Amino acid sequence: MISEKLQDAINDQINKEIFSEYYYLSMAAYLSSQGLAGFENFFLIQVQEERFHAMKMYHFLNERGGRVILSQIDTPKTEFKSPLEVFELAYKHEQFVTKLINDLMDIAISENDHAAKSFLNWFVDEQVEEEASMEGFVNKLKLIGGKGNGLLMIDKELGARTFTPPAK
């Protein structure tokens, strides 16, 4: 059985993951409107990843005898200045999510909940990858000045990305 404190914290994180899905969908829509199908694809894959994260937590909470309780999702930002701004905001968002995951891990550690610690380790590792990916594209976009042939090359690279659900 999971504690009420950890159940509440995981519920909050499920809602944050669903917001992340919504936020990235908004970014994908903006990038599509700019004619950048590869960039759009990248964020549509992020949408799928965030849904996967939310559902992974959903199932964990149910398996531990907890109850999933969803709350209202905030409206995401819909207007952006450039693909660079989109990736800068996505990078900041991933840093925010990393802090949230670390806070969840702190609760699991304080409660000596070994199952939760084991479960959350996957998310800790995942966040390292998420931050590195976003930061890498921020750096590439800065390097090319966010436009021109370099932008089209990155668009092509991002268009090749596919979603592969991680092994549970």
* Closest alpha carbon to 5 in 99, 109, 118: 109
CA angle 28, 69, 23 (to 5 degrees): 10
3-7: long-range contacts, CB 8 A cutoff, minimum separation 24 = 3/111, 3/113, 5/107, 5/111, 6/66, 6/104, 6/107, 6/108, 6/111, 6/113, 6/116, 7/61, 7/64, 7/66, 7/67
* Second-level CATH architecture of 4-159: Up-down Bundle (1.20)
Using one digit for the tens of pLDDT, what is the confidence trace for 15-54?
Answer: 999 999 999 999 999 999 999 999 999 999 999 999 999 9
pLDDT for position 166 = 76
pLDDT at 101 over 70: yes
Instruction: Give the predicted TM-score (pTM) of the model.
Output: 0.94
- Please tell me the distance from the alpha carbon of residue 132 to that of residue 135, in angstroms, as a whole number: 5
pLDDT for position 147 = 82
Using one digit for the tens of pLDDT, what is the confidence trace for 73-98?
Answer: 999 999 999 999 999 999 999 999 99
pLDDT for position 167 = 72
